[in-house]
Amino acid sequence: MQSINLAEHSVRQLNQLLHDQYHHFDQPQWQVSATSGQHNIACGLNQKLEVNIDGHVGYFCAGMNQLAHVTVHGNAGQGVAENMMSGTVHVKGDASSAAGATAHGGLLIIDGNTGARCGISMKGCDIVVKGNVGHMSCFMAQAGTLVVCGDAGEALGDSLYETVIYVKGKVQSLGADCVEKPLTKKHLMQLKKLLKSADTEEDPSQFKRYGSARQLYNFKVDNAY
């Protein structure tokens, strides 16, 4: 296992070492310490690495992730796993705003709460938040799934496209064009699988499903160029 202390190495050096594994894959396990809330830790990975980060991280941690499994043993700043393509990012503490923003694939697990705009404009990833999410989560979210085991803040799913949202707790308010929908067997199966992948004991039947009423955007083929 490789251990990198960020009091002795720059984030740029760390990321370069992790990126080098794309061409020469010989070190699957990495341990990162002394993070001190620095930004851009473990960004742009593209290999089946297991990266364990001890401490709080700043903005965009594990952004653009592909294939790697990144665990943050602490809190994460804005935009954790933003634009993730595949792999897994697991935050053991809380995450700030825009967690999983624009992410196309992979799984983001937050053990604590997130700030505002969790999953904003997400395009296909799965996000499981064991605590609460802040206001305007899933704003303009296009595909993928957000699971919230706690409560959701104001304007959940505002201007939503085709992301599916499951919330167990209270929803302070739904955003424009976001509505509650029936929890069918198919959805229960999907939710059960997601909760299992995030290692939670939550009962899927306790959740409600929310999705787009499809009144704000148009599927008509006539509108395609």
Contacts with other proteins, residue ranges (CB under 8 A): 36-38, 56, 58-59, 75, 77-78, 94, 96-97, 115-116, 134-135
DSSP 8-state code for residue 93: S
Nearest distance in Å: CB 59, other proteins: 8
CB nearer to other proteins: give 47 or 114: 114
CB nearer to other proteins: give 52 or 66: 52
Q: Where are the beta strands (DSSP E) in the chain?
A: 2-5, 29-33, 50-54, 69-73, 88-91, 107-110, 123-129, 143-148, 164-167, 178-181, 208-212
CB nearer to other proteins: give 142 or 172: 172
Nearest distance in Å: CB 93, other proteins: 8
DSSP β-ladder status, 143-148 and 123-129: parallel
Which residues, 6 or more positions from 216, have their beta carbon under 8 angstroms from its beta carbon?
A: 159, 176, 177
CB nearer to other proteins: give 35 or 88: 35
Nearest distance in Å: CB 7, other proteins: 11
Q: How far is CA 54 from CA 17, 31, 73, in A?
A: 18, 8, 5
Nearest distance in Å: CB 204, other proteins: 29
